[in-house]
Amino acid sequence: MPAEARPLNRPDAASALIGSIYDCALDPSHWDATLVGIQEIMRCENAWLAVIDRVNGSGALIRKTSRIDPYWLERLPLHAAEISSWERLPVVRDLPLDEPQVLSRHLSPEMRQQSRMLKEWAEPQGIVDTMAMVLMNSPTRQAQLGLSRHKDFGLITEREVTLARLLAPHIRRAVTIGDLIDLKTVESESAKQTLDALCIGVVMTDAGGTILHANSAAEAMMRAGGPIQGNGGTLRANRTSATEELHTAIALADREEASLGKARFALRLTDTGEPPVLAHVLSLKHGEARSRLQPKATAVIFVGGGVGGANGAEAMSVAFALTRMETRVLAGLLTGQTLHQTAEELGIARTTARSHLHNLFVKIGVTRQSDLVRVAMQIAAIVR
């Protein structure tokens, strides 16, 4: 039976849950308790989180579940092909990034009636609906958080969809940063050693951007004159507007996290025409694990990584403000597909694909597909 729901309309409840989500960025073991919190607030029977490595064949980098019986968990892969076919449906595939996929809303009654997965897996457990949040979907990473609804609570309602829209950007940010630091656990007593071992730049600052700690990679960047600088002890970017954006993000990190929503915490530090370098900002003011990491620190800034590991398409999506479909077209091209093949895989017309390609050229400032690949390779070299 599903647990009674906890209200999320109280500011303290929202802050506590979102704070625990961000704690997971620096300690993946927090996902166990956090999933339970998300499940209860959503009035769901169970929950799961998976981050899959699509490059090295190592399977799940993270696989966390809450209240899924091992018997049913073992049988879920038997229905993987059917579940994947749902994700390719245009009504699901073209959803905005933070719009959850809801089975009762996005699968036709005919498909639900004919579904073996629902008959053989969901119905015996009393599950009548599911909701999934896509966190990463690229050639290198796939990440998703899912929830199942028990018949005692009925179908997923607008309440749960609204909550999912609220939580999705926070969950995605936590998963992205966790992936960026290779899912290492950063504890207060060993923080310096852990951060110094990372190949990306890591800087901790107060609310005004004063540097309180920088790891070896960040210090090397500052000695080399970019993409970050520490003149006068204050963190800056080579690009003036990037410095302003960075300090705005750091100041926002001092606020209650529930109010941040879709505020930008992945920022491009370099100018157009230069290899894109990104900074990801995580608040250290809130959350049990993060607030103990560095006394007086407001934020930790990770420099040099893109979204979803070494995936150029996802990184350029942030750096050049690409739309979801532009990012998908770019990802197809980066895997070696022709524009025609990419259009077929995405289920769009060739003319539509050409229109997206033109937009990519304009936004990224190139004129040939080979230049798109070159920029993506530059990003990958920076990330790893």
Judgement on whether residues 210 and 160 belong to the same structural domain of the protein: no
Enumerate the β-bridge partners of residue 60. Answer: 52
Judgement on whether residues 249 and 195 belong to the same structural domain of the protein: yes
Residue 2 falls within a domain, yes or no? Answer: no
Q: What is the pLDDT along the chain (384 residues), one digit of tens a residue?
A: 554 555 555 546 667 888 899 889 888 889 999 999 999 999 999 999 998 877 666 567 788 999 999 999 999 999 999 998 998 888 887 787 778 999 999 999 999 999 999 999 999 999 999 999 988 876 677 889 999 999 999 999 999 999 999 898 889 888 888 887 776 666 666 766 777 778 789 999 999 999 999 998 899 999 988 899 998 999 999 888 889 989 998 998 887 666 665 556 678 887 766 666 788 888 887 776 676 777 788 899 999 744 443 356 766 776 677 787 888 888 888 766 788 888 887 888 999 999 999 999 888 888 888 777 777 665 544 444
Residue 310 is predicted with a pLDDT of 36
Q: Which of 139, 157, 180 is the last residue of a domain?
A: 180
Judgement on whether residues 216 and 284 belong to the same structural domain of the protein: yes
- % of the chain beyond a pLDDT of 70: 81
Nearest to 269 by CA among 295, 247, 286, 293: 247
Nearest to 266 by CA among 373, 154, 180, 348: 180
Judgement on whether residues 165 and 26 belong to the same structural domain of the protein: yes
We report the CATH number of the domain holding residue 335 as: 1.10.10.10
We report the CATH number of the domain holding residue 237 as: 3.30.450
Euclidean distance between the first and the last CA atom of the chain, given in angstroms as a whole number: 45
Judgement on whether residues 169 and 246 belong to the same structural domain of the protein: no
Judgement on whether residues 37 and 126 belong to the same structural domain of the protein: yes
pLDDT in tens, 47-100: 999 988 776 665 677 889 999 999 999 999 999 999 989 988 888 877 877 789
Structural domain tally of the chain? 3
Judgement on whether residues 107 and 126 belong to the same structural domain of the protein: yes
Q: Which of 259, 278, 303 is the last residue of a domain?
A: 303
Residue 3 falls within a domain, yes or no? Answer: no
Token pair in block for residue 132: 């999934």
Judgement on whether residues 132 and 265 belong to the same structural domain of the protein: no
Residue 121 falls within a domain, yes or no? Answer: yes
pLDDT in tens, 195-253: 777 878 999 999 999 999 999 889 999 998 889 999 899 999 988 888 998 999 899 88
Q: Which of 269, 303, 337 is the last residue of a domain?
A: 303
Instruction: Quote the domain boundaries for residue 366.
Output: 312-383
Which residues, including other chains, have CB under 8 Å from residue 225's CB and lie 6 or more apart? Answer: 238
Residue 6 falls within a domain, yes or no? Answer: no
d(CA 4, CA 147): 15
Judgement on whether residues 290 and 334 belong to the same structural domain of the protein: no
Residue 125 identity: Q
Which residues, including other chains, have CB under 8 Å from residue 194's CB and lie 6 or more apart? Answer: 184, 185, 186, 187
